[in-house]
Amino acid sequence: MSDTENAIEVKDLSKEYMLYSRPADRLVEALGLSRRVRHTVHKALQNVDLTVKRGESIGIIGKNGSGKSTILKIITGVLSPTSGSVKVNGRISALLELGAGFNMEYTGMENIYLNGAMTGFSDKEIDERLDSILSFADIGDYVNQPVKTYSSGMFVRLAFALAINIDPEILIVDEALSVGDVFFQAKCYHKFEEFRQQGKTIIFVSHDLSSIAKYCDRVMLLNDGVKLGEGPPKKMIDDYKKVLVGQYELPEPGLRMADDEEIRKAASASAGDAGNEQGFEGDRNPETLEYGSMKARISEVWVTDENGVRTKAVIKGSPFTIHMTVEVLADIECPIFAFTFKNVRGTEITGTNTMFEKSFLEPVRKGEALEITFSQKMNLQGGEYLLSFGCTGYEGEAFTVYHRLYDALNVTVVSDKDTVGYYDMGSETEVRRLPIPEGRQQETE
């Protein structure tokens, strides 16, 4: 692939900061007044590689402090790397943290022209785009007030309006949209979709996993400055969830996380031949992602229709029940049992758990077996969905995963009437003819 086909190339990128306990230590070390090292090294990024093709939408996810903002600042030139290289082919427009690139003493209008000049546009070129910028920002006369008087929502409106209207080839957004109101966020995401259709490149950092799944072609997962992987949004989001509960890698000795093959063998042995025909092994997705400390194990999952018959297809509008059986392998103070529906892109649509429902808040003991059922009416639109299961809990203040099964079952919703969005509100509609006013009757005659 030629370089021109890549919008961004990041190779072996590292960023280190020297941290000092006291300002005096920085001065002493800078002046060479002591041979003792007075700083510690914080590695914000460690040997990260990333290639972004033209027209791709790339998401970057990870916990706070994982290096997401740092890599964006290096790509945009705000920071310099400690080592490694970054190559950018195309005009970048970036929306980083609030305040970046704006002079707080200037008015919004003055900042529009200031930022335009910094991006390489003449005043005439900004004049041609001014109506579009002001229309998108929609902050009225506040554009003539100093930006230091703006609310965070007004600030991000102006910043995003400017970022998207300077004809960027590469748009970089770092979580800034979370401060806007819901209507502005909807407008921004609509603009994202337009940019994608125009073949522009987008790099998007967000904790909103649904937006990451919807708008990104590929996702990179960072943790403590290290790239854990990159790939389809669904796979990376599932890995991120494992990171959040400390089970992406093997825990400390003695609490080894059971791997997929061990759990699969244990489930097979427990379920028996009959279970393999209709239960955990027979119905479940062979690509199921599963992990946990295994203090409890989900041994079987299935769905039944309104007649109690096991099924993988549910008619829209009909009652159905989700079942899971759990074997308790250690004493647990208060387990939480859950299910979640996701679409094929990995966006969580709906779900619940026994804590939300306040249906089971009791301790369980080693050797017990439990059957959990969730009964409800199917209101999802017709289509294919993936059903996930979980058994979790709290040990003191720590949230703990005992066993999770992501995308364990495929459920098909059969429908002859679909509405807009993910689910049907079950609206009852009525249209009544109203009498025509006397004056208008004569007009129609």
- 10-residue block means of pLDDT along the chain (445 residues)? 77 91 81 78 92 93 90 91 93 74 89 86 90 90 92 86 85 74 76 86 86 88 92 88 73 40 42 37 71 94 93 92 96 96 87 93 95 95 93 92 94 87 87 82 61
Cα 427 off chain centre by: 31
Sign of CA dihedral 393, 398, 401, 406: positive
Distance between CA 11 and CA 136 in Å, rounded?
Answer: 36
Q: Assess contact for 423 and 380: CB atoms under 8 A.
A: yes
Per-residue pLDDT, 272:
39
CB 50 within 8 A of CB 10: yes
CB atoms within 10 A of CB 419: 13
pLDDT computed for residue 183 by the predictor? 73
pLDDT at position 281 is 45
Tell me which H or E stretch contains 186: helix 182-197
Going through 122-280 in order, the beta strands assigned E by DSSP cover 170-174, 201-205, 218-223, 226-231
Neighbours of 47 (CB within 10 A): 14
Orientation of helix 123-137 relative to helix 152-164, angle to 10°: 130
Per-residue model confidence (pLDDT) at position 101: 72
User: What is the secondary structure of 52-102 as a DSSP string?
Assistant: EETT-EEEEE-STTSSHHHHHHHHHTSS--SEEEEEE-S-EEEE-STTTT-
Torsions phi, psi for 364 (to 5 deg) = -130, 155
Q: What pLDDT does 268 receive?
A: 42
Q: Minimal CA–CA distance to 236: which of 5, 43, 50, 42?
A: 50
Fold of 260-414: Coagulation Factor XIII; Chain A, domain 1 (2.70.50)
Other residues' Cβ atoms within 10 Å of the Cβ of residue 287: 11
CB atoms within 10 A of CB 295: 21
CATH superfamily entry for domain 3-244 = P-loop containing nucleotide triphosphate hydrolases (3.40.50.300)
Asked if domains 3-244 and 260-414 share a fold, the reply is: no
Q: How many degrees, rounded to 5, is the angle at CA 135 between CA 130 and CA 136?
A: 105
pLDDT, residue 415, reads 87
Alpha-carbon distances, residue 259 vs 7, 249, 370, 382, 389 (angstroms): 38, 11, 23, 34, 17
d(CA 176, CA 96): 6
Residue keyed to tokens 């509008």: 317
Task: Report the chain's C-alpha Rg in angstroms.
Answer: 27
* CB 245, CB 391: distance < 8 Å: no
Whole-prediction pTM:
0.70
206: number of Cβ within 10 Å: 20
Distances (CA, A) of 375 to 164, 315, 323, 348, 423: 46, 14, 9, 19, 17
Contact 315, 378 (CB under 8 A): yes
| Domain locations in the chain as residue ranges | 3-244, 260-414
Residues in the chain: 445
